[in-house]
A and B are shown apart, each in its own frame.
Chain A
């Protein structure tokens, strides 16, 4: 099997990964950058340089386009072959990548919570629908309800409206008072305030319901209507798409498989963004949900520290601390209402890969027992969707991540074994 060697290997080419790769490369080291999407940019700058939405995105995508950086697009990490070597699957087959320092910038996914009808075609994540529309899904004239929690809902609604969707309303589970408090925090940052005002202007005429949530989705072959709890009333609204996400969950699985310490669902790092495993750094949403500005700072610090540029890294510490305070406000402003735990009915599926209903999980006291008895979390998503849901519903999380870290082709696995036998 072919092997390529890098001084610094970065997993994830979103803002944190781009900042990490370009900061490390500035010292002259050889950098590899892996992403499972067709182009760099992550979810927020999806589509790469050609579709860069802001001058900031353009700047970072150009910086990461340096000769010293090798981008592996459409590539997924399968496992660790030995310390300092990862097995990856590229579109043309498996490959081994060796490194001195590793930076995990694997980002976050949306939190999906089960409610009756959430498996119907047409019910998607908020970021999920946005991603598909960016990929060419026709949305003009479609009626869309945007629901769940967090500032992403506003950004998604504004984007969908700009593409001609008829956004019916935004359904936010947090209260008006918490939204007000969050608004005050936004006002302390001129750039964030500017962004919020621009989104607000673009969404004029679209109702925002706070302290409200989706209770069910209905339709025969696909989504036709959603029911919305607004205080004591339940309203039913016809729609073509429901874009529903309850905030973000760090993608910690690879870090977990590599033995990095996890607390409160995030990978733990020191001031240099380094984990307890020497030579493994983390940056961006994997260390806690903090948004774009924090991701860029953490990425730069990780890239600089991993390439020995500690003095340059230290300069960014105070800016990072400021963004971390904003991240704390973000978490408290959009903390999930306990009522959302009661949306699933006994027969509502929680594990969509293995079709495991809520009632089958209720009788088990831990993740492992539920997994062994019901197959919850044993499908291709490997518990990434249902495991995050059960963490909220029952306080149970997957207890270990074993290789392969993602779905892999048999040929990729066989090729490593045949090499080892030689």
Chain B
């Protein structure tokens, strides 16, 4: 299957084409997608764009939902 390469927190990750960004983060071993206002580690909850727990920064754009964004070649994803 065709693979896509992107970076997660600067580290290169390869995922099958058609993967969402949240899957790439899991593939890269990321447990915490963001930290809550009181500093708790958080990761996806709803998987469908409702809860905003999976939000990350994609190509410099904050508040991107990793559960609803498809991986693209060369994409730069960072967690906070």
Question: Given known contacts A121-B33, A122-B31, A124-B45, what 5 new A-B pairs fall within 8 Å (CB)?
Answer: A123-B45, A125-B47, A135-B19, A251-B50, A407-B52
The B-contacting residues of A in range 349-402, CB under 8 angstroms, are 352-355, 379-381, 384-385
Partner of B52, one of A120, A124, A353: A353
Residue on B with the closest CB to A221?
B31
Q: CB distance B47 to A128 under 8 Å?
A: yes
- CB neighbours of A352 from chain B (8 A): 36, 42, 45, 51, 53
Cβ-defined partner of A132 (8 Å) among B37, B38, B47, B51: B47
Alpha-carbon gap, A109 to B38, bound state (A): 26
Q: Is residue A222 contacting chain B, with contact meaning CB distance below 8 A?
A: yes
Q: List 21 A-B contacts (CB under 8 A).
A: A38-B68, A43-B48, A122-B31, A124-B44, A124-B47, A127-B46, A128-B46, A131-B48, A132-B44, A132-B67, A136-B18, A136-B19, A137-B23, A138-B23, A138-B26, A222-B43, A353-B36, A355-B38, A355-B40, A380-B55, A385-B45
The interface size bin for chain A is 35 or more
Q: Is the CB of B23 within 8 A of A407?
A: no
Contact with B47, one of A74, A123, A130, A138 (Cβ below 8 angstroms): A130
Complex CA gap A128/B50 in Å reads 10
Residues of A within 8 A of B40 (CB): 119, 355
Tell me if B80 counts as interface (CB < 8 A to partner A): no
Q: Shortest Cβ distance from B22 into chain A, in angstroms? A: 6
Q: How large is the interface on B (under 10, 10 to 19, 20 to 34, 35 or more residues)?
A: 35 or more
Residues of B within 8 A of A (CB): 15-16, 18-20, 22-24, 26-27, 31-33, 36-38, 40-53, 55, 63, 67-70
Give the distance in Å from the alpha carbon of A119 to the alpha carbon of B36 in the complex.
Answer: 10
The answer to whether A385 and B32 touch (CB under 8 A), given A112-B45, A135-B22, A407-B63, is: no
Query: What distance in Å separates the Cβ of B59 from its nearest Cβ neighbour in chain A?
Result: 12
Q: Given A135-B19, A136-B18, A352-B53, check contact A121 B48 (CB 8 Å).
A: no
Q: Which residues of B contact A137 (CB under 8 A)?
A: 22-23, 26
* Residue A285, interface by CB 8 Å: no
CB distance from A375 to the nearest CB of B (A): 9
For A131, the chain B residues whose CB sits under 8 A away are 47-48, 67
Does A129 sit within 8 A of B, measured CB to CB? Answer: yes
